[in-house]
Amino acid sequence: MEDFKQVHAQILKLNQFQMDSRGAGNLITVCALSDWGSMDYACSIFRNIDDPGVFEFNTMIRGYIKDRNSQEAILLYKEMHQRGIKPDNFTYPALLKACSYLSAIREGLQIHGHVFKFGFESDVFVQNSLINMYGKCGEIKLCCRVFEKMDQISVASWSALLASHTKLGLWRECLRLFGEMSSEGFWRADESTLVSVLSSCTHLGALDLGRSIHGFLSRNISDLNVIVQTSLIDMYVKCGSIEKGLILFQNMPKKNQLSYTVIISGLAIHGRAEEALKIFQNMLKEGLDPDEIVYVGVLTACSHGGLVDEGRKFFDKMRFEHQIEPTIQHYGCMVDLISRAGKIDEAFELIKSMPKKPNDVIWRSLLSSCKVHQDFEFAEIASRNLFELDPQNTSDYVLLSNIYAKAHRWEDAAKTRKDMVNKGLNQIPGCSSVEVKKKVHKFVSQDKSHPESYAIYEMIHQMEWQLRFEGYAPDISEVLFDVDEEEKTERLRAHSQKLAIAYALIHTSEGSTIRIVKNIRMCNDCHTYTKLISKIFDRTIIVRDRNRFHLFKDGICSCRDYW
């Protein structure tokens, strides 16, 4: 920057700058868009131009966006409009990016109107920017509408559409669109498109499709960047293939903070706490400074591994050695760690001593531990705070009701459910998804909607017949309804996880791994059931529930019955 100022001074001294807007525009470009530049200095040059044109305005807008000052970019466009300077097709992609960063949908809609007014509605770059802006502002219908009206669709158009669906958590729709994209001849997707698809595979547990994308990347791109490599590791880890994720991580020529965060967090949710802590120590030896996100992974590993003392040490190391102020997430990990280990009163004292006001996640962690350890006193304290902070969260009412039901306090359980209904809240049903032949099949409890429902329930019958020889008895305490034993046994029989396992046993080859994704915590009965099924059928069964991974093999679970 100092060299640039000297060159600028020479231009002024030689009087070559006066009235030369082209030269000034070049100076602004270098100053505003270089990594070492200064927007303040670029602005001082810009303000000394007598008659700046569209090029200079566009450059300044891009500079402000690069500087993450999107508000100034939009204000500069307003000034441009007031001066009567007509924008061009380079103006709007930059402006729409500013709206994306600010989630400024109102301004985005107005700018879309200007796109029509000035005749750029058919420009492919502007259209792609509109898709991206609407997606990042959460307006998926408008995003799709722009895409559908395009005359010339490019890979970048598909990429923007898929990224929009991914950002909004529309994973299944993203995979459907990717299939449509491939069938229309756009099979040479770019890296950013495939990162969006990998993210969808990650959330849905669609390992086979994720592997196919990995194969495509390996065949077509010789040098994958760190972002794509990290996305692949994240996909394998969260689809239950932790070993493959570890191999990719170890083979990375260059690792960054995010790579370490992904593998540490991945090992944590797989219950491999000691390995996660060892990799964290390697990260420190390599000279990479940990940030607050890495420490969330480290403390999560301690929590899932039941390493209370180690968790306390790392919490202190974070604060005193690395000078990282604990966030609400770090306190949440500590409350989860301590209360999960049965120290409910100690966890409650930690909550009271927090410098920050505890949020709903912290109280929910305490309430979940109260269910495991049957602590009614602290369960009621946690639930009262939860209902004040987040009165519309259905799962909190269900959790408290289940705690009461577990203790046969049926009146309290019914009252809690009634309060939920009176507030117009609907319980989200528990579901389990299993990928078979690159297609994801979803089941809910007591589900009979699947086309192969009859065969699935026949397999359930066969599974139960063989389970008897292993001494299995249904844990009817997991049925939290005031019904007779026969009804409780019937309800347990068709839990969504069992239906998913039955379907996978029918349609997968002997010895192949079964991978299931659940949206709720696994119940004790399903846990025992799955352990025995893995032994009887000689299968590895990997289940990802709301909290972590369980790897069942030879009648043993990787969580060591601590989850």
Rounded to whole angstroms, the Cα distance separating 427 from 528 reads: 25
Q: Which residues of 67-92 are buried (b: 16+ CB within 10 A; e: fewer)?
A: bebbebbbebbeebeeeebebebbbb
**563 Cβ partners below 8 Å, 6+ apart?**
271, 304, 521, 522, 527, 547, 548, 550
Q: Which residue has the tokens 């722009």?
A: 146
Q: What is the pTM of this model?
A: 0.76
Rounded to whole angstroms, the Cα distance separating 327 from 456 reads: 47
Rounded to whole angstroms, the Cα distance separating 335 from 220 reads: 46
CA angle 179–183–187, rounded 5-degree value: 85
Distinct helix (H) and strand (E) counts, the chain: 29, 6
- pLDDT at position 378 is 93
Return the beta strands (E) in 519-557 as ranges: 541-544, 549-553, 556-557
Residue 442's SS3 state is strand
Q: Report domain extents, the chain.
A: 441-557
Contact criterion met (CB below 8 Å) for 37 and 30 = yes
Residue 429's SS3 state is coil
pLDDT, averaged in runs of 10, over the chain (563 residues): 88 66 81 90 88 92 92 94 92 94 94 94 93 94 94 90 92 89 74 85 86 85 85 92 94 92 94 94 93 95 93 95 93 94 93 92 92 88 91 86 83 87 82 88 92 95 91 70 62 90 95 91 90 95 90 91 78
- pLDDT at position 19 is 45
